Structure 1
């Protein structure tokens, strides 16, 4: 009998819930995902072993153990689950069922750690560092009693192999846990999980195709890479043909991403660990930045960083130390394939108008006609911030559609959302209308030719000359009057505040002089 999505999700959550006595919900993922992945590997390995035995029963009597093993691992198994503590009284396979049989014995955490490390070592091309730091296997972090309870609860999850459940169900269960952990862990969730509807919107706009490469320089749990493959599959295309690449600064999160990809049956991927801005790991043979067809990202906002001193990615200028937002954009631009590269990134509105070095970078990007669109999103969409954000869409130099060259498309989708429990949510209709607006045709004044084709969103294609006249300010309210009427132009408000502040300071200085001349002292400047 096929396993239902609800059944596997419910039982996986029961296993996760055993951790409530030991750690905050924000840390559940570091334990549950490695255990879930280990159980999946073990169940799948055992299923393939039984397939081998059933299909080769007539041959096995005439084969040595070594010959039988060679055939099994050549034709049936795609990874190895080795033996741990070989040559000792503790020798056993590093499989889920083997270690589960020892849960009443002391040292469970050590055996689990030894098993996971042995699997990584035995399969370096596939599983190197996939289980993360495994600090939770230490008794002082997670007691043997709690770990045993988690494993026993997870063992009640039906066998997770291809004969019992599809990769759609398995991957869906993984995604369910990601979202459940994120809903319960507050702002920390933003470090590894982007709401799936935001991911879907970016991927729909960038429209990856069969055999293309997709890259996320801040990949978190890998959701944007998986969404790219899922989009192709939903359209009847071949998502498995995508070549997926990512880099993630946190080793444990990178492991979550790798496991996520495997469980979605996506094996053509490379996820590296490291700081993308300081040490980009994906490069060409000559040492230059690797280039891809599609680049997607939701990087950490306004991240303090150590600016580059000399780097070819720094077009225009170097982003300020206080905010790496434009540095991520510069990296993504450098990563675009020159013939058909396109990139989509979610960033705070400050990137649209901030001055200084960021204004110089913005000017260079616009002068080179790299920015195609700015899509204003609602506030409170994300787990780690309530501020409104925007999607910036870039195209490699000279690859924008002729009618969009030397212009930027502005879409105000800031009012399109549904209220959720902890945050606002983009509905399927919101996403569809925004994508429709993105694909609009425009007249000579930059207005949509079909005013009903934009899903009711305010849309305008503004010529670059107009943006230049506005000092390269990309505030959506400057180009879409509806947005300006509904919400004061933040850039204008900041300018007005600075003027008022300067006037106030002048008035205070005059007052202090008058008071001092009158012999009245004691006021602090």
Structure 2
């Protein structure tokens, strides 16, 4: 979406501006997140309110030409909350320095809490009294950024998640454990498809599992509040507030209870849940066995207990609890330490019993650095009490450790397409070939759309190059390369029209889509070649221009404009091959559009093989190692970007270390 092209830069700018809390308030670094999230909550809520308001007003009844006023009931089940005028962000932004902004924000929060009982005592209020009036004014204006006001869609939802991510990365609250990375949550949601009934997260953190479940339901054109009920447990009071804010800002309600899940089950949901989702704390070793030995949530008995009467490792407690919550058709998806899948001793006995129920559905290995405060690899476990009889002695093993993209020096995630591709494996596992083929068809359609979208940026590059070349003398080599580029782009343009017609007449079955991918292959490869040509043409003209004396600032401006046009053309061309590669990634691994063993990626394992391997559920133990592939797509600019990420990360850490050293010296009076 075009409006999101600059969202990353906007997010960073907002984060930098909001960080004034630390410099201008009395908050410690681990306290600043709540008032900041409170302001984003208000802005996000207002954004969703404005998006729905015209639609709701158009359907309001009127009497005598007078339309009745909006009420909170009008917004029920529509993914937004009602806001009185005092709680609307524009009202707060328009306050003057003569007004008491802290008092106004507190009043806004109180009005929302009055209308929504589930938020009573949840929203931050008195925290704002610690901030100067002008600082609050700056913060309010920061979150009313001009670039954001005209955007549509869930832009502030993304910003809300970005700030949660940043605070998690800093360990600013609960050591960052309150937030599960979105790509991990989306993968769990895509696999278990929580589209109805009771959904529980016994370690719910900031509520991300519920929010992504709601998005999944909304994509099916249903109301989350009408088809699903969310239950959560969380031990930390502040995290509960964060979770309830997160739900409310998405127009959701959830039954979030304060509880230590090892010992308490306030919702009484054993055997009643359609879906369980969680990212619990790993490897906890101080759970009192005497308090839980009779717990009905332990159908496989206690795992190992040490001499002190404590459970040696809480991982299998969590998994037993998750299993016990499921009804006879329920599904679970949860994150677990990679140690758990092959743990020995009493844990191995529990694992074997769980496997022998036939309800362990699938395992997915994830490489390290997906979490903000944990660098260790993990695994996703999937349980399914509604597995078909014929599949109950089998477990799907997926090793996704080679599937990732680099976000920062320390953080990786899945791209949206990588998430879809991994999900497609589960579709084949469940015999849903139509969904698999539809995804491939979508990728091929996107390939054509991306090819057609190159025309405008390519012409913009023509214009920018032409403006520059007019000012540059003796650029014969660049001109020769440019003429060849023009010829090749014209051929490419004609090819787009030709292949679009061909692909449009091909059937959408597996054979047809394989043929369509082959038809589009030359176009995708040509897009890569054109990138190299454009880069070469620009470098030649740039070198000649810089060698030329007397150009002055005007020439430098033209060079910069040509470079910007080059970058946009390259980005557009990359998309062509990118989407084609996604289709080919699936087709090469599953040529018959049916599940099959793929070395280094996936294998369907039966219980006999599991027994031969000590009932281990570690995917890498079964799928083998993928053959090394030659990298035909080495991208110099992408490699340079990774180097910049590495350097930026090191510089940031060096700056933080220098500041800490300086602070230590000051405290010592040096």
Q: Could you state the TM-score of these two structures normalised by the residue count of structure 1?
A: 0.70
Cα displacement (A) at 1:464: 1.6
Cα displacement (A) at 1:30: 0.9
Q: 1:281 aligns with which of 260, 266, 270?
A: 266
Equivalent position of 2:319 in the other structure: 329
**What CA deviation, in whole Å up to 9, does each residue of 1:215-260 have, x standing for no partner?**
2222222222222232344456665644141222222222222222
Q: 1:466 aligns with which of 598, 609, 619?
A: 609
Cα displacement (A) at 1:94: 6.8
Q: 1:237 to 1:71 in 2, by over 3 A?
A: closer
User: Is 1:248–1:276's contact at 8 Å kept on the other side of the alignment?
Assistant: yes
Q: 1:125 aligns with which of 91, 114, 117?
A: 117
Partner SS state of residue 272, structure 1: strand
User: Is 2:45–2:249's contact at 8 Å kept on the other side of the alignment?
Assistant: no
User: Is 2:247–2:253's contact at 8 Å kept on the other side of the alignment?
Assistant: no
User: Is 1:410–1:460's contact at 8 Å kept on the other side of the alignment?
Assistant: yes
**What CA deviation, in whole Å up to 9, does each residue of 1:125-159 have, x standing for no partner?**
34223316x563453xx555544532343355689
Larger deviation: 234-243 or 422-431? 234-243
Distance 2:332 2:148 in 1: 40
Equivalent position of 1:179 in the other structure: 165
Equivalent position of 2:278 in the other structure: 297
Equivalent position of 1:17 in the other structure: 19
Q: Could you state the TM-score of these two structures normalised by the residue count of structure 2?
A: 0.56
Distance 2:218 2:43 in 1: 27
Equivalent position of 2:618 in the other structure: 475
User: Is 2:199–2:277's contact at 8 Å kept on the other side of the alignment?
Assistant: yes
Distance 2:134 2:374 in 1: 37
Equivalent position of 2:421 in the other structure: 433
Are 1:228 and 2:213 counterparts? yes
User: Is 2:75–2:82's contact at 8 Å kept on the other side of the alignment?
Assistant: yes
Cα displacement (A) at 1:374: 1.4
Q: 1:127 to 1:449 in 2, by over 3 A?
A: same
Equivalent position of 1:243 in the other structure: 228
Distance 1:13 1:99 in 2: 18
Partner SS state of residue 482, structure 1: coil
Equivalent position of 1:353 in the other structure: 342
Partner SS state of residue 303, structure 1: coil
Larger deviation: 451-460 or 225-234? 451-460
Segments of 5+ residues of structure 1 without an aligned counterpart are 61-67, 84-92, 486-525
**What CA deviation, in whole Å up to 9, does each residue of 1:332-375 have, x standing for no partner?**
1111121x200011111111122333223212212222211111
Are 1:257 and 2:249 counterparts? no
Equivalent position of 2:396 in the other structure: 409
Are 1:30 and 2:34 counterparts? yes
**What CA deviation, in whole Å up to 9, does each residue of 1:44-87 have, x standing for no partner?**
889979969x9979678xxxxxxx9x96547768778789xxxx
User: Is 1:413–1:458's contact at 8 Å kept on the other side of the alignment?
Assistant: yes
Q: 2:288 aligns with which of 286, 306, 309?
A: 306
Cα displacement (A) at 1:432: 3.2
Q: 1:58 to 1:5 in 2, by over 3 A?
A: farther
Q: 1:483 to 1:364 in 2, by over 3 A?
A: farther
**What CA deviation, in whole Å up to 9, does each residue of 1:11-52 have, x standing for no partner?**
754652322414566544311221232355578889979969
Equivalent position of 1:512 in the other structure: none
Report how many residues are paired.
446
**What CA deviation, in whole Å up to 9, does each residue of 1:289-339 have, x standing for no partner?**
36222211111111243341320001222245343222221121111121x
| Equivalences for residues 504-523 of structure 1 within 5 A | none
Partner SS state of residue 462, structure 1: strand
User: Is 2:274–2:326's contact at 8 Å kept on the other side of the alignment?
Assistant: yes
Distance 2:370 2:75 in 1: 43
Distance 1:184 1:235 in 2: 35
Q: 1:272 aligns with which of 239, 257, 276?
A: 257
Larger deviation: 468-477 or 415-424? 468-477
Distance 2:188 2:48 in 1: 34
| Equivalences for residues 102-113 of structure 1 within 5 A | 109=102, 112-113=105-106
Equivalent position of 1:382 in the other structure: 371
Partner SS state of residue 266, structure 2: coil
Distance 2:278 2:46 in 1: 33
RMSD (CA atoms) = 4.3
Equivalent position of 1:507 in the other structure: none
Cα displacement (A) at 1:166: 4.7
